Structure 1
């Protein structure tokens, strides 16, 4: 019954009685055969409803049927949905991603159709106007006009129809009050006109004045638009004007004329922290006179439906989104931009594991369009692709009209903070000087909460998550201990749960909340704000923070990596990195690279306008190559040394890695599955399989975890290798096997 997974040559149509393959958004091995119902005509890409067991599911016509099931057993397609078909390039993308990530094609398909309601026509929007009021009709009982009802009736006296939610909001009443008036006959239903589509970005509007170097870079990017597939790295220091340069490429893409058979050209911009793109959106609107459509996990269901439909119908000209936006059904995508391409948050690690940057390159290749990778600190993989000639590069080596900030290393062995403090005397003095000058300071510490560890001073007991191999992080603002891996939380206990000693629990190590307490004690008059994923819970909160900082309603910003990139605050002249060594701990092969990238990004927030900037980096290891490279602003020397170290060990990008994580609630079942996998592990001259070994997070969300690591030569197809290995071993249903091709996290 299962069909092939790869897209067949397109057939113009399938008619009554034909056999078709329908791919369902389920973790199944492939498509299933169905019969085209009487009087129905289908084409590849059509969204259809089909029966599966006792359910009716929505799937996509994937091509001709395989013939693997007898004709008499075929079940008919029930309905063809009135939605634009999934484009052929999207179907090829689904198959490519599934094959590369060793995932079920249906699991990848599910990412291309995340809003099932968008595949059906929208229900007409209903509004209400004044109808009968008390005493006007004998059929309507007398209406008691309460103050709340009176506000509703007064609001609607203008005769403008409004939906229930808008009436309730404008009249400051509950929706139940409005519905009561509807039942009483005081309000009557009427159809509302469809909302006007948002204005399209205008590529004709002039952008900011560019320097000669910026104009040359923009011209290079523009020349790639409409010229087929290419990958170009836009490489420039923080503040060098990279965004305005690639805006010119977006304008060129939007200017392309549409042919008779396709919609206007579309552009996709991927950002690693789309919920924090408030300044980016404002810059885009200033350049193009309209907002782009936005796609990320924080937008509501109604907006997701409108955006998905606008993309599939070709009405969405520019979409800015998180990595999941890559799977939207663009009908005429002409350009992809991946901003901050080095960011680890582009990696999806749950469900189908993929890297958004790498899959953006694949999507561009399948669609024969250009992709621009943007970064001030490009990944070693991208740098190596440029060096080998696979990617092009455009450099913006210096800031536009401003000098880079000076970076000073604060050796904590010689300039230690006072007892119970975390800011060195030099840093404290510079903050005071900055505030006296009317400027702003940013203190960076990549640790949420108050303290990363809470232990008992009497017995040494450490408070750990019951479901994960992790300490509970203390959050004083909420009065809770929380696991940042599974979300488990509990109140801070008054006594040690192990020995019962009251008042013995001690917070160990600094988090941003604890740092905020120190800052408040040192600078009580300073207006301080916390910027973390706990306090910035969406685009609205991020926009409010940006507005407050730009208006100088904030003096000191204390934040995690969420505030480290992309922002431009003219009055921010001092950046203090509280723990520069934090990212260097552990055995992650990319620890040095990520630390260099993150600290370079946060350093780039200082001195981005007329006032010069300074960066103070607290460290116990000023002699470390990362610290020396940062102080000297010598990125090339650091990358060369990092490349040499990885080349010698055959690590990416000079070798291939794949992780196979085996997990389950029953530890014995997990161990048994691992033994079977180990016995049949692939063996070849250029392949090593390490493990199984307990993962660093050996218990996560109540599941025991073991890890295999496949290390292979750069020419080895690890996807095929792993797929064939796993296919030969029966895995019990209680055990889950997850494959991560090209892992970047080893937890």
Structure 2
């Protein structure tokens, strides 16, 4: 490796402070370890190293010794470092972010550091990555697996493991095709060769409000100081164009910008808009990237070549060379909260990274989170408002349809008023969107003979029918099974019925009503990559789709000038379940999907189907009374001492053995610390009592904001022991209560 220095021989020199380093290895089970620096090797804090551990060597990062005090080992017993990565390291601000994230979310520093060094590029050499693609040759010997692979891999390119994953076959099948001559070998260089964005390429004329807000953000980038801005603009007000001006200023200063998006599917439409404005694409970072792309992009941003990075929440922890601006788009989105591993919230960690780097942070949203609005009231964030839509566009009219009086026909889900509106819109040649936040055909399959409900064998959840793939799927663990021909319980044939609607069922209803209409289903099942999102956008812009039926995936980020009608099929779904954020989340979701209508010169109309038309959320939506809704919701939170006026944390205990999980949860509950302003509720079986074959129990902590929550929980749990098979996780500031 050209950029890695190998370990020289040990000469037996005396112990000096510079000869001893403290290293955090990428192993969450280990704390910091001390190593010896061989003669001729330099390992400053932040250096990426390879260090021996038993017979293996593991990657790690050299850390300041005083940040993680440990018992000092005799120098002669220290093992020497093996390698040090030249040219790329972990900066002091990023090291402070790793420490803060680990401390705040009660995770190990190693677990956080794994996100920093996630691509494996830190020690990648300059050799090309080998990928493969089909060449059109069909092997003489064919098997069902080979046929499946050949059909699935048309137009695909990737490593052997990536192609096997795409085709849903074993690695041996792909290797067999390569040996048979059906795959060509391609060497992909590890160096990125993308064009640099031009800040002056596609400048547009901003309106007065946009220019005013844009000038504030431009000045913030020039000041090179920390400040968080809440960019609060109604849907269609041009928030993206405004923060593009801040990106342009960062480019002029030759500094890097990070743009966080909540969904991979939003990446492709964003890339198109970015390309139009800056004449080149930003560097992408998300789970859909191939291994070669991840290594190239990691290297480009770590070495400072990538000037703008757009990515999912994990992009927040990457080692940028000279970060000058962070933008969190759709900052209210729940998907910015990581629900496993290190349970961090990217919005809040973005603010902390901005503080550590001393750079501005922009939180952009049409429906800001109550926590963000509260930070504005506290004077911690600066509010920047865009109160009107851009150009000739105006906000759509919103009308509630009371399903107790405007009743859909039996076996149908669309109210007659909404059906007539769809018919009128088709007649005008304009596009419509039907929103239902429920994937698949039906959420429950029920036997009408014995009442048996088909559940997931690994979770306490119903199997969801997906009629397009003729499968039942669990949306929690991913378990898939064929649709049974008879009831598994009573074995009665033709007794299984689908209960309730999903987007596939709504689409079937639309096709029956309007057989001539061109429809599209947009969910994570159909739009699973930026490329698929790009195909959907192209069809919408070309007028090849008349009616879209989609989940929350279509509620944000899309701009279709000819989409003038939105129908919310069931506005009451999100209000069920007792989640403390249920009303806020429902308001945000409906307001966002309503904002897809009438985004250009054509007026828009939104119909909201509900059985509770007088509910405060529904009234706020139809009256466009956003401020009134937020005021009432904030008052309710304050009266209940709920976040952001207090703190919550959840303790989740799980095991394959329910008695072990239950006993551990009881032990934790019985040993809870007693402190003023600190209360522990539970344990109790989790609402999702089994997940992926593990029984689950939960405790909920409520604490005043003055309480040192993390310190209390850390000291409480550190003193306890439980069986090795039991997992105990802590979720600080939880968003999910299942």
TM-score normalised per structure 2: 0.89
CA pair 193-72 structure 1, distance change in 2 beyond 3 A: closer
Match of 1:113 in 2: 117
Which residue of 312, 323, 332 corresponds with 2:322?
332
In the TM superposition, residue 194 of structure 1 has moved relative to its aligned partner by 8.1
How far residue 38 of structure 1 moved from its aligned partner, in angstroms, is: 3.2
CA separation in 1, counterparts of 2:302 and 2:40?
26
2:704 is matched with which residue? Answer: 713
Alpha-carbon displacement from aligned partner over 1:370-407 (angstroms, at most 9, x marks no partner)? 10000000000001111121110110001112110000
Rate the CA distance shift 1:555–1:20 in 2: closer, same or farther, 3 A: same
* 1:303-382 matched pairs, under 5 angstroms: 303-382=293-372
Identify which of 282, 289, 293 aligns with 1:292.
282
Question: Number of paired residues?
Answer: 685
- Correspondence for 1:275: 265
Give the Cα separation in 2 of the matches to 1:21 and 1:165: 38
Secondary structure of the structure 1 residue equivalent to 2:64: strand
| Residue 492 to residue 165, structure 1, CA distance change in 2 (3 Å) | closer
Instruction: Sort the Cα spacing of 1:194 and 1:575 in 2 relative to 1 into closer, same or farther, 3 A.
Output: closer
Deviations 1:208-237 (A, max 9, x none): 211011100101111111421100011110
Query: Given the superposition, is the C-alpha separation of residues 741 and 212 from structure 1 closer, same or farther in structure 2, using an over 3 Å criterion?
Result: same
Q: Show the counterpart of 1:395.
A: 385
Give the drift of 1:42: 1.5
Q: Which residue in the other structure is 1:219 paired with?
A: 215
8 Å CA contact 2:259, 2:329 repeated in 1: yes
Is the alpha carbon distance of 1:96 and 1:458 closer, same or farther for their aligned partners in structure 2, counting shifts above 3 Å?
same
Please, which moves more after superposition, 708-717 or 406-415? 708-717
Is the Cα contact below 8 Å between 1:115 and 1:305 reproduced in 2? Answer: yes
> Retained in 2: the 8 A contact 1:97–1:108?
yes
Aligned-residue CA RMSD (Å):
2.5
1:33 corresponds to 2:39: no
Cα distance, 1:19 vs structure 2: 1.3
Q: 2:490 aligns with which of 493, 499, 502?
A: 499
Change (3 A) 1:457 1:66: closer
1:80 corresponds to: 84
Shift of 1:66: 4.6
CA contact (8 A) 1:83 1:120 kept: no
Distance 1:33 1:576, change over 3 A: same
Report if the CA contact (8 A) 1:682-1:725 is conserved: yes
Structure 2 spans left out of the alignment, 5+ residues: 1-14, 140-156, 164-173
How far residue 177 of structure 1 moved from its aligned partner, in angstroms, is 10
Shift of 1:40: 2.0
Corresponding residue of 2:145: none
Evaluate the alpha carbon distance shift between residue 695 and residue 181 of structure 1 in structure 2; reply closer, same or farther with a 3 A threshold.
Answer: closer
What is the distance in 1 between the residues matched to 2:606 and 2:231?
25
Partner of 2:654: 663
- Aligned-pair CA distance for 1:321: 0.4
Structure 1 partner of 2:95: 91
What is the match of residue 690 of structure 1? 681
For the pair shown, the structure with the greater C-alpha radius of gyration is 1
SS at match of 1:435: helix
Q: Which moved more, 1:644-653 or 1:75-84?
A: 75-84
Partners of 2:186 and 2:258 lie apart in 1 by: 38
Q: Contact conserved, 2:127 with 2:190, CA < 8 A, in 1? A: no
Q: Aligned to 1:30, what secondary structure does the other structure show?
A: coil
Q: Aligned residue for 1:197?
A: 193
Tell me the SS of whatever aligns to 2:601. coil
Q: Is the Cα–Cα contact under 8 Å of residues 126 and 190 in structure 2 kept in the other structure?
A: no
- Of 299-308 and 17-26, more deviation after overlay is shown by 17-26
Q: Supply the distance in 2 between the matched residues of 1:299 and 1:438 (Cα, whole angstroms).
A: 37
Query: In structure 2, how many angstroms separate the alpha carbons of the residues matched to 1:22 and 1:331?
Result: 21
When normalised by structure 1's length, the TM-score is: 0.88
Q: Partners in 1 of 2:256 and 2:41 — Cα distance?
A: 32
Note the C-alpha offset of 1:63.
2.8
**Alpha-carbon distance, 1:80 to partner:** 1.5
Q: Which residue of 1 aligns with 2:292?
A: 302
Q: Higher mean Cα deviation, 25-34 or 548-557?
A: 25-34
Is this contact kept in 1: 2:331–2:364, CA < 8 A? yes
**1:469 shift after superposition:** 1.1
Match of 1:423 in 2: 414
Residues 193 and 593 of structure 1: CA distance in aligned 2, closer, same or farther (over 3 Å): closer
Contact 1:226 1:334 in 2 (8 A): no
Using the alignment, how far apart are the partners of 1:147 and 1:745 within structure 2? Answer: 50
State the alpha-carbon separation in 2 of the partners of residues 594 and 474 from structure 1: 26
Deviation per residue, 1:435-470 (Å, 9 max, x gap): 000101101011000000011101111111111111
* Alignment of structure 1 residues 579-728 onto 2, 5 Å: 579-728=570-719
| Secondary structure of 1:592 counterpart | helix
| 1:50–1:76 CA contact under 8 A, matched in 2 | yes
Aligned match of 1:242: 239
The offset of 1:190, in angstroms, is 13
Alignment partner, residue 153 of structure 2: none
Q: Is there any run of 5+ residues in structure 1 with no aligned partner, and where?
A: 1-13, 128-145, 150-163, 257-263
Residue 508 of structure 1, CA deviation: 0.4
Cα deviation, 1:491-537, whole Å, max 9, x if unaligned, reads 11111111111110010000011111111100000000110100112
Q: 1:82-161, aligned counterparts within 5 Å?
A: 82-124=86-128
3-state secondary structure, aligned to 1:280:
helix
Secondary structure in structure 2 of the residue aligned to 1:371 = strand
Q: Partners in 1 of 2:438 and 2:177 — Cα distance?
A: 46
Tell me, yes or no, if the aligned pair for 2:230 and 2:383 is still in contact at 8 Å.
Answer: yes
Question: What's the secondary structure of 2:230's corresponding residue?
Answer: strand
Residues 269-296 of structure 1: CA deviation (Å, up to 9, x unaligned): 0010133222211111111110000000
- Aligned pairs (5 A) from 1:468-507: 468-507=459-498
Give the structure 2 partner of residue 435 of structure 1: 426
CA contact 1:583–1:592 (8 Å) conserved in 2: yes
Residue aligned with 2:40, SS: coil
Aligned counterparts of 1:190 and 1:685: Cα–Cα separation in 2: 64
3-state DSSP class of the match of 2:89? coil
